[in-house]
Amino acid sequence: MCGIVGYIGHQDTIEILLKGLEKLEYRGYDSAGIAVRNQDGIHIFKEKGRIADLRGIVDQSVEAKTGIGHTRWATHGVPSKENAHPHQSASGRFTLVHNGVIENYEQLKREYLLDVALVSDTDTEIIVQLIDLFSKEGMETEEAFRKTLGMLKGSYALALLDSEAAETIFVAKNKSPLLVGLGDDFNVVASDAMAMLQVTDEYVELMDKEMVIVTKDSVAIKKLDGTAVTRDSYKAELDASDIEKGTYPHYMLKEIDEQPLVTRKIVQAYQNESGELAIDDKIAKAMDEADRLYIVACGTSYHAGLVGKQYIENMAKIPVEVHVASEFVYNMPLLSEKPLFIFISQSGETADSRAVLVKVKEMGYKALTITNAPGSTLSREADYTMLLHAGPEIAVASTKAYTAQISVLAILAGVTAKARGIELDFDLVKELGIAANAMEVLCDAKEEMEQIASEYLATTRNCFFIGRSVDFYVGLEGALKLKEISYIQAEGFAGGELKHGTIALIEDGTPVIALATQESVNLSIRGNVKEVAARGANPCVISMKGLESESDRFVLPEVHKLLTPLVSVIPFQLISYYAALHRECDVDKPRNLAKSVTVE
Ligand code: M6R
């Protein structure tokens, strides 16, 4: 979603801002802009479209020491130059970028700004106009900023320039992520450390309802009541090469290929000195004490949660419910007596999941976050964290985070089982190793997957994924992957549900991708394949070695029956990737989507 950068120092401000915005492109956006301040005032450049379009209109000859930049993912008002950030106040004095949603902006407009001619449809413009209004009433900028912040309901990460304040960026945060980066004779602001890794790896986290006055050699953090806050900085443990594509044409392909390595890294990270899988004792205790687990997540992470339910119930024998965060928050089920909440989130910043976390913490419950982002909001605000160790995932379509989530959930389930005195009848470390090897084999099967994509998906308008048991869950993920990057309407169904309605959609040639990795349901899923084939569908069966039939399109290497999602998802990821390529879609940055969904 929207991304913010800011720079104040002596280097080439415009280039630093543009490069920073390029690093934030992965979050998803539809327009972008920068504003820089120099002795002549504030210069704004903004454009609908990509950063490359913005580069085309920026006047590189403008020299400036201070600037802010923004990528916008439209919420209020269509993607357009007018609605793109930065927004400027009517007097031209203040210029602002914003990430988040201001819920009471209509009310603020009615109460304070009826006389101001607004030039955009955004909620953001209200903020900058209010600051202007209060400053015209005689307040210093800091005071006007603080007063405005006190009136805002909703989420915000803000960076503000004042044409009359010498080399200063005013910053504030509530619910939306924002960091201040520290340098030698310069400082930066960024939604994500990745954006400014080019200039610094030292960052200070901001907490909700804090504001910061940033100059090139000072960073003053304050609460909204003006109380000064001191906080240590930390080193962002990111390797600049982790966020480069290298020789790959797309991040998505690189991240698919990284999956076997990530699985091995996770096993290592959770092994103790004697090679046994281990987790923080406090997490094992909280799991053991819970009478029911509630997994809460969105999108791909929700799909991983469904697999996690199978693991925990099978291995650790604790009942689990899995919920979509955006539903759970408004429609909470009756909770058990001793619930434990598990949040799964690659980014650790997803607003829907965070809203649930805030609510259950208010209710006094404990929460565990499983995330790829140490220090993220969901990690900080939960009682416990388990990390994915997947390295930065840049492509909007989540791939390596999904398999990492599944590996971590398997480890959580296995270790909890042991803590509860339940002996597993298999060696989880060994089986995860076998799965990692099988994942490698699948990553090498790109030609076959490209062939399947061109045979089944090159021209189709829809596609169904069917499976039973855990294969149904992987089918849901396959369908999400295909639709989000190729725009083919794709849905996942439980094989047995077809005859209750969905089969009406089957026409001549409709591709139906069926997964058959579970012996217990092998005959029944094959029955479902026959049902759709009899109605004209073009079935593509992907099965597991040992369960295959002659007509199957692809056979997966054999892995433990609980770990099949780690391997069966890879063909779906690759098929989706090649289908998107065939259709000339922007694989890494699909339309309308954002990587980090920081608004509810
Ligand atoms: O960062 P999170 O795991 O919380 O994100 C949740 C979803 O937004 C995310 O998985 C989304 O569905 C992906 N684009 C799917 O590829």
Check for a shared fold between 3-241 and 445-589.
no
Question: Distance, CA 388 to ligand 1 centroid (Å)?
Answer: 14
35 CA from centroid of ligand 1 (Å): 31
Which residue has the least CA distance to atom 14 on ligand 1?
397
Chain centroid offset of residue 545 CA: 34
Mutate to test the pocket of ligand 1, among 346, 587, 591, 598 (most ligand atoms within 8 A of CB): 346
How far, in Å, from the CA of 32 to the mean position of ligand 1? 22
| CATH number of 251-442, picked from 3.40.50.10490, 3.40.50.300, 3.30.9.10, 2.40.160.40 | 3.40.50.10490
Query: Catalytic annotation on 2?
Result: yes
Of the residues 23, 65, 418, 595, only one is catalytic, namely 595
* pLDDT on residue 218: 95
From 26, 255, 301, 595, give the residue whose CB has the most ligand 1 atoms within 8 Å, as the site to mutate: 301
Supply the residue whose CA is at minimum distance from atom 11 of ligand 1: 299
Please choose from 296, 298, 577 the residue to mutate so as to test ligand 1's pocket, defined by most ligand atoms within 8 A of CB. 298
Q: From the CA of 597, give the closest atom in ligand 1.
A: 8
Strand pairing report for 462-467 and 511-516 = parallel
The pLDDT of residue 177 is 87
Ligand 1 atom with minimal separation from the 396 CA? 14
pLDDT per position in the chain (600 positions), as tens?
689 999 999 999 999 999 999 988 877 788 999 999 998 899 999 999 999 999 999 998 999 999 999 999 888 889 899 999 999 999 999 999 999 999 999 999 999 999 999 999 999 999 999 999 999 999 999 999 999 999 999 999 999 999 998 799 999 999 888 999 999 999 999 998 889 999 999 999 999 999 999 999 999 999 999 999 999 999 887 776 777 888 899 999 999 999 999 999 999 999 999 999 999 999 999 999 999 999 999 999 999 999 999 999 999 999 999 999 999 988 999 999 999 999 999 999 999 999 999 999 999 999 999 999 988 889 989 999 999 999 999 999 999 999 999 999 999 999 999 999 999 999 999 999 999 999 999 999 999 999 999 999 999 999 999 999 999 999 999 999 999 999 999 999 999 999 999 899 999 999 999 999 999 999 999 999 999 999 999 999 999 999 999 999 999 999 999 999 999 999 999 999 999 999 999 999 888 887 777 777
Dihedral, 35, 37, 38, 41 alpha carbons, nearest 10: 90
CB-count exposure of residue 182 (10 Å: 0-12, 13-18, 19+)? middle
* Test site for ligand 1: of 344, 350, 596, most ligand atoms within 8 A of the Cβ: 350
* Chain centre distance of CA 51: 20
Question: Contact at 8 Å (CB) between 280 and 366?
Answer: no
Is residue 147 flagged as an active site residue?
A: no
What gap in Å lies between CA 571 and CA 411, rounded to an integer? 24
Q: Which atom of ligand 1 is nearest to the CA of 594?
A: 14
Dihedral over alpha carbons 546, 550, 556, 559 (to 10 degrees): -10
Sheet strand arrangement including 384-387: 320-324, 292-297, 339-345, 366-371, 384-387
Strand 179-182, strand 202-205: pairing: antiparallel
Given CA atoms 314, 318, 319, 322 in this order, what sign does their dihedral have?
negative
Task: State the pLDDT at residue 589.
Answer: 87
Please name every residue paired with 66 in a beta bridge, in sequence order, or none if there are none.
Answer: 8, 37
Pocket of ligand 1 (CB under 6 A): 298-301, 345-347, 350, 353, 396-398, 480, 484, 597
Nearest CA to ligand 1 atom 10: 300
- How far apart are the CA of 48 and the centre of ligand 1, in A? 25
pLDDT at 414: 97
Closest residue CA from atom 12 of ligand 1: 299
- CA 491, 495, 499, 500 torsion: positive or negative? negative
**pLDDT at site 242:** 75
Instruction: Provide the strand spans (E) within 49-93.
Output: 66-72, 87-88
Write the DSSP symbol of residue 397: S
Q: Which ligand 1 atom is the nearest neighbour of the CA of 405?
A: 3
**Which superfamily is assigned to 3-241 in CATH?**
Aminohydrolase, N-terminal nucleophile (Ntn) domain (3.60.20.10)
Q: Which two tokens stand for residue 260?
A: 């076997």
Helix (H) / strand (E) containing 94: strand 94-99
Q: How far apart are CA 453 and CA 253, in angstroms?
A: 15
Structure tokens at 187: 């400082």
pLDDT value of residue 257:
96
Contact 203, 233 (CB under 8 A): yes
Domain residue spans in the chain? 3-241, 251-442, 445-589
Distance from Cα 301 to the centre of ligand 1, integer Å: 6
The H or E element that residue 232 is part of is none
How many Å apart are CA 299 and CA 447, to the nearest integer? 28
- Per the CB < 8 A criterion, the answer to whether 369 and 387 are in contact is no
Q: What is the pLDDT of residue 203?
A: 94
Q: Which CATH architecture has domain 445-589?
A: 3-Layer(aba) Sandwich (3.40)
Main-chain dihedrals φ then ψ at residue 544, nearest 5 degrees: -100, 145
Q: Which atom of ligand 1 lies at the shortest distance from residue 371's CA?
A: 3
For position 103, what pLDDT does the model report? 92
Q: Is the pTM of this model over 0.85?
A: no
Q: From ligand 1's centre to the CA of 167, what distance in Å?
A: 38
Q: Tell me the CA–centroid distance for residue 13 and ligand 1, in Å.
A: 32
Q: Which atom of ligand 1 is nearest to the CA of 401?
A: 3
* Whole-angstrom distance, CA of residue 521 vs CA of residue 502: 20
Q: What is the pLDDT of residue 600?
A: 72
Alpha carbons within 13 A on the beta-carbon side of 581:
16
Cα 308 to averaged position of ligand 1 atoms, centre (Å): 16
